[in-house]
């Protein structure tokens, strides 16, 4: 009973802190809007929320959101799978790590716009968002998982090899719990970056149905409130995606008794 009460107080305090921080920044937003004094240049929080609500009751809004989410999620999943596989190979074969490192460095250093226009020459507009998202997420996953594999306790591995413990048991009891904290960190960092990069790519190549296209036309037509409303939608979706992903990771972590970094 005492533990439950303590947990409730912590949850209440955390919720109150989040609410106070949110109100502070909304207040800053409102203050800037009042100073500017022109909704065309800088819409207020209220007008942005109202416009977001107006968009949200239309079928086209949810169709647009669904298509953008689909493209970004495909890119993220592809990058995570490829990042984990190549990290495993890099751990086993040092030359492969040295071979892949320059390419990863180039990807991390090159502006998104350069990749967008280059990829657009090879594939269709819809595929650009998927590839750009994957390019942003992959290096983070690969580097963190590789680091996690390299930091596995050698004494545990020697013990497992000495007693000829089967590979699947070694994987479940040693490798996954050791690597998961690094993967947690990489996933949380890369999700937001991948989502923003995907929307930015959409704004540049403008697939037929996409949030990026709506952002571009809102800017082009000087519909600033619409631009703020779509931006707010992107932020909300980013938070929802992260919360859902973290919840899944926490479940996996509990299964493998993983301590998060």
Please state, in angstroms and rounded to a whole number, the distance separating the CA atoms of residues 116 and 252: 34
Please state, in angstroms and rounded to a whole number, the distance separating the CA atoms of residues 180 and 251: 12
**Confidence at residue 261, expressed as pLDDT on a 0 to 100 scale:** 47
Selection from 160, 183, 161 nearest residue 173 by Cα: 160
pLDDT tens-digit profile, the chain (261 residues): 454 566 677 777 777 888 888 899 989 988 998 998 888 888 989 999 999 999 999 999 999 999 999 999 999 999 999 999 999 999 888 899 999 999 898 888 888 888 888 888 888 777 899 999 999 999 999 999 999 888 887 777 677 677 777 777 777 777 888 888 888 888 888 888 888 889 989 888 888 889 989 998 888 888 889 999 999 999 998 888 888 887 777 776 666 555 554
| Per-residue model confidence as pLDDT tens digits over 166-206 | 777 777 777 888 888 888 888 888 888 888 889 989 888 88
Topology of domain 43-255 in CATH is: MetI-like fold (1.10.3720)
Instruction: Give the global pTM.
Output: 0.83
Percent over 70 (pLDDT), the chain: 92
Confirm if 184 and 245 have CB atoms less than 8 A apart: no
Domain boundaries in the chain?
A: 1-37, 43-255
């Amino acid at each position: 009973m005492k533990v439950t009460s303590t947990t409730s107080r912590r949850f209440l305090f955390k919720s109150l802190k989040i609410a106070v921080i949110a109100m502070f920044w909304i207040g800053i937003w409102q203050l800037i809007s009042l100073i500017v004094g022109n909704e065309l240049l800088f819409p207020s929080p209220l007008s942005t929320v109202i416009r977001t609500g107006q968009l949200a009751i239309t079928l086209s809004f949810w169709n647009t959101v669904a298509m953008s989410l689909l493209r970004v999620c495909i890119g993220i999943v592809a990058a995570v799978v490829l990042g984990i596989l190549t990290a495993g190979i890099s751990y086993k074969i040092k030359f492969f790590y040295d071979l892949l490192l320059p390419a990863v460095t180039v990807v991390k250093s090159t502006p998104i716009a350069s990749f967008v226009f280059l990829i657009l020459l090879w594939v269709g507009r819809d595929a650009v968002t998927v590839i750009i998202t994957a390019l942003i997420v992959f290096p983070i996953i690969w580097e963190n998982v590789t680091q996690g594999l390299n930091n596995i306790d050698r004494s545990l591995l020697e013990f497992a090899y000495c007693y000829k413990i089967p590979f699947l048991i070694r994987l479940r009891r040693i490798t996954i719990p050791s690597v998961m904290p690094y993967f947690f960190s990489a996933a949380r960092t890369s999700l937001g970056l991948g989502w923003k990069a995907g929307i930015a790519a959409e704004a540049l190549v403008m697939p037929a149905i996409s949030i990026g296209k709506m952002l571009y036309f809102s800017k082009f037509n000087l519909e600033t409130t619409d631009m703020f409303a779509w931006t707010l939608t992107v932020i909300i979706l980013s938070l929802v995606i992260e919360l859902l992903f973290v919840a899944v990771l926490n479940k996996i972590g509990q299964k493998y008794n993983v301590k998060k970094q």
